[in-house]
Amino acid sequence: MGLNWLNDVKWDEQGLVPVIAQDAASGEVLMFAWMNRDALDQTRRTGEAVYWSRSRRRLWRKGEESGHVQKVHEIRTDCDSDVILLRVEQVGGIACHTGRRSCFFNKLEESGWSSVEPVLKNPEEIYR
């Protein structure tokens, strides 16, 4: 497979595309991140999620510090080709740097935002 498929993605002004990581088995949305062309190409070639860290300004292999890699089952794009969906197996069951299964653990309730998902592992034990 050549790299022409990368030209079909609608990259933003910074050369990035938003990415949603979804559990391939349950359909649960695990996290949101960004990719550049190199991250998306490496993800396809290696079968493990690679993202672009906007804060660190570098490629970020999911799980490079925590061991919680994402094994990619499918790569999809939306109808406008401007959002990527990764269907993944979340190794270790933790996708969030807070030690939770999903990054989407805050729920809007009458009193405001409330954390509704448990911490599965203390982040201090994950990131040393």
Check if CATH label 2.60.120.10 holds for domain 13-126.
Answer: no
Whether pLDDT at 127 is above 90? no
Model pLDDT, residue 1: 61
Mean pLDDT of the chain: 95
Q: Give the model's pLDDT for residue 102.
A: 97
Question: Which pLDDT score is estimated for 126?
Answer: 86
> Which stretches does DSSP call E strand in 1-128?
17-23, 29-35, 50-53, 58-61, 70-77, 84-90, 106-109, 112-115
More confident site: 78 or 1? 78
Instruction: Answer whether residue 56 shows pLDDT above 80.
Output: yes
